[in-house]
Amino acid sequence: MEPHLEKIFFEMHTDLPREGPGDFESTKKAYQLLKDLPKQPLILDIGCGPGKQVLDLIKITDGKIIAVDNHQPYIDRLNVNAVSQGLQHRIQAQKGDMFKLQFAEHSFDVIWAEGSIYIIGFERGLQTFQPFLKKRGYLAVTEISWLKPNRPTDLTEFWDKEYPPMQSVENNLQIIQNSGLKLIGHFVLPEHAWMDDYYIPLEKRIDLYKAKFRDNPEILEFLAFNQLEIDLFRKYSDYFGSVFYVMQKI
Ligand SMILES: C[S@@+](CC[C@H](N)C(=O)[O-])C[C@H]1O[C@@H](n2cnc3c(N)ncnc32)[C@H](O)[C@@H]1O
């Protein structure tokens, strides 16, 4: 993304509840698939964003969460929220790059990545994150995935531009198997997990920015592309979705 559009992107996304699809019930459902965890597991959240899923996860675990993201304002926001909820001894957010994680290998009982593994790529992410897990540790990620074939052309064209490596669920399950991880379970997030805390608040921002930049065709085009993503989800959410993949290191 061009730096001036990236600036608009981050401005427009400031203080949105989430930066991708997700909801408490799905986070809980995925976490409940993890068995035989220590009483106080050490969890690494990668690409935590503003950290809604971290604040959800902390309610259902007695463990500690280290959360990393490369965007400092998200880190600051999560740390402020952790302090205001008296959770600073159990949540520690810090700046970090998922391509160059600065932790010792075999450090974590669980690695969590909601809506962020696509940045490094699903296959490469599984390979890159796995060494930081203890033996029998768990990796839980959400990844946008095709749910059925014979997809409409406008939908395929959009996602071919936006995220060309997007795979079908079957292909991702094969990638998991090839990565030497054991699949514990997988499920599709409900539609409201996209809408309630992500697309609906984002759509309101898009409308505000459309009015603010009504004389700037380049920004209007960028905003239209953002709106198109939401419109295509509304129209075609049976063709693609965000899928939770829960895996174990063996
Ligand atoms: C789609 S958002 C998801 C955020 C959050 N997990 C959620 O579900 O709301 C992806 C996040 O990855 C972060 N990110 C991008 N590149 C990164 C990198 N190289 N290392 C760590 N985080 C990165 C972004 O700043 C953003 O917060």
Phi-psi region of 36 (alpha: psi -120 to 50; beta: other; left: phi over 0): left
Q: Classify residue 71: in a domain, yes or no.
A: yes
Residue 15 identity (one-letter amino acid): D
Q: Classify residue 195: in a domain, yes or no.
A: no
Spatial separation of the C-alpha atoms in residues 242 and 250, rounded to whole Å: 25
Pocket test for ligand 1, best of 56, 97, 119, 243 (most atoms within 8 A of CB): 119
Q: Classify residue 140: in a domain, yes or no.
A: yes
Q: Classify residue 45: in a domain, yes or no.
A: yes
First to last CA, the chain: 38
| DSSP state at residue 98 | T
For position 111, which CATH number holds?
3.40.50.150
Is the dihedral angle over the CA atoms 34, 183, 99, 115 positive or is it negative? negative
**From the CA of 51, how far away is ligand 1's center (Å)?**
10
Residue 231, phi then psi, degrees to nearest 5: -60, -40
Q: Classify residue 107: in a domain, yes or no.
A: yes
| Domain carrying residue 118 | 19-190+238-249
**From the CA of 36, how far away is ligand 1's center (Å)?**
29
Q: Classify residue 79: in a domain, yes or no.
A: yes
227-243 mean pLDDT = 98
- Mean predicted lDDT score pLDDT of the chain: 97
Q: Classify residue 131: in a domain, yes or no.
A: yes
Number of domains observed in the structure of the chain: 1
- pLDDT tens for each residue of 142-191: 999 999 999 999 999 999 999 999 999 999 999 999 999 999 999 999 99
Helix (H, G, I), strand (E, B) or coil at 172: helix
Residue nearest to atom 25 of ligand 1 (CA): 71
Question: How many other C-beta atoms lie within 10 A of the C-beta of residue 56?
Answer: 18
pLDDT at 2: 85
The pLDDT-based confidence of 1 (bands split at 50, 70, 90) is confident
- pLDDT tens for each residue of 12-62: 999 999 999 999 999 999 999 999 999 999 999 999 999 999 999 999 999
Contact 249, 139 (CB under 8 A): yes
pLDDT at 181: 98
Q: Classify residue 197: in a domain, yes or no.
A: no
Residue 126, phi then psi, degrees to nearest 5: -60, -40
The pLDDT-based confidence of 82 (bands split at 50, 70, 90) is very high
Question: How many other C-beta atoms lie within 10 A of the C-beta of residue 161?
Answer: 9
* Pocket-forming residues, ligand 1, beta carbon under 6 Å: 18-20, 22, 47-49, 52-53, 68-71, 74, 96-99, 114-116, 119
Overall pTM > 0.85: yes
pLDDT at 250: 93
- pLDDT tens for each residue of 202-219: 999 999 999 999 999 999
